Structure 1
Amino acid sequence: MTIKRYGAEGGEGTGGQHLPFSRAVEAGGWLKVSGQTPMRDGEVVEGSIVEQSKLAIENCLNIMDEAGYGLEHVVHVSVVLTDARYFQSFNKVFQQVFGDHPPARICMVADLVIDCKVEVDVTCFKSPLSD
């Protein structure tokens, strides 16, 4: 089995900080996308929980697309919210995106290391034989 790393050179985080991890790793039909926040060009995009949720998920989808995976391949999503009151608003965004392909999910409340309201990671599976 081979392991393919997307963005292994690391990205750029807030304040130009080097991020020492891959955007995603693929092995044996599985794709694990690293936690994505509402960042664009290395900076958190300010906004409501709805706006930040859409961007965090969009960032995951862009990485999935780069690796050749689509919504139909998502098997699990992990969500971190910084406030339990964001739960219903996040669910609305989640439903809009994953409505036809609802994955398993965990949603938790915790502090995040950067100033944002949400972080999302995605696990996908695509049978290597289906290509």
Structure 2
Amino acid sequence: MKDIVQTDSAPAAIGPYSQAVSFGNLVITSGQIPLTLGGDLVEGDIAQQTEQVIANLKAVLAAAGTDLARVVKTTVFLADMNEFAAMNAVYERHFPAPYPARSTVQVARLPRDVRVEIEVIAERH
């Protein structure tokens, strides 16, 4: 049975989707972009945007009863693969070893023309 995860500690969904869904012992998040709780876009560089994305992921995962240490898979969407190293430096500070599996892809465009979007799959505690 799937359960919808919703928290006021992360930006609300801006479309017909859930912040995350839990299914059994897994939590699957929707992609998070660098929006603040008030719905404002973080306009900074890729590092600043990645920090906000990860803060949003932490909040959604906490609402589901888990955290970044229990993430088993991430997918990172970048508007520009030339910003990979800067994104990766922030990512590495937040995701502890043993690291989750990861895919990183450059896409033609992201919602609200952000530089980064990340989605994760995590185990529940």
Q: Which category of TM-score, normalised to the shorter sequence, fits these structures?
A: 0.7 to 0.9
Question: Over the residues paired in the alignment, what is the CA RMSD in angstroms?
Answer: 1.8
% of aligned pairs identical?
31
Q: Give the match's secondary structure for 1:22.
A: coil
Q: Give the match's secondary structure for 2:72.
A: strand
**One of 110, 120, 123 as aligned partner of 1:122:** 120
Deviations 1:48-77 (A, max 9, x none): 100000111110111001111022210000
What does residue 82 of structure 2 align with? Answer: 85
What does residue 110 of structure 2 align with? Answer: 112
Pair 1:54-2:72 in alignment: no
Deviations 1:63-111 (A, max 9, x none): 0011110222100000000001110001101110113341100000011
TM-score normalised by L of structure 2: 0.88
Cα distance between partner residues in 2 of 1:7 and 1:108: 27
Q: Give the match's secondary structure for 1:4.
A: strand
Q: Which ranges in structure 2 are unaligned for 5 or more consecutive residues?
A: none
**Equivalences for 1:1-131 in 2 at 5 Å?**
2-7=1-6, 11=12, 13=14, 19-40=15-36, 41-110=38-107, 111-126=109-124
Code of the residue aligned with 1:32 in structure 2: it is I
Q: Which ranges in structure 1 are unaligned for 5 or more consecutive residues?
A: 14-18
TM-score normalised by L of structure 1: 0.84
Deviations 1:18-65 (A, max 9, x none): x21100000110100100000012221110100000111110111001
What does residue 16 of structure 1 align with? Answer: none
Q: How many residues align?
A: 120
Deviation at residue 12 of structure 1 after TM alignment: 5.2
Q: Give the match's secondary structure for 2:103.
A: strand
Greater strand share, 1 or 2?
A: 1
Deviation at residue 7 of structure 1 after TM alignment: 2.9
Cα distance change on mapping 1:55 and 1:85 into 2, 3 Å: same
Do the aligned partners of 1:11 and 1:20 also contact (CA within 8 Å) in 2? no
Do the aligned partners of 1:44 and 1:115 also contact (CA within 8 Å) in 2? no
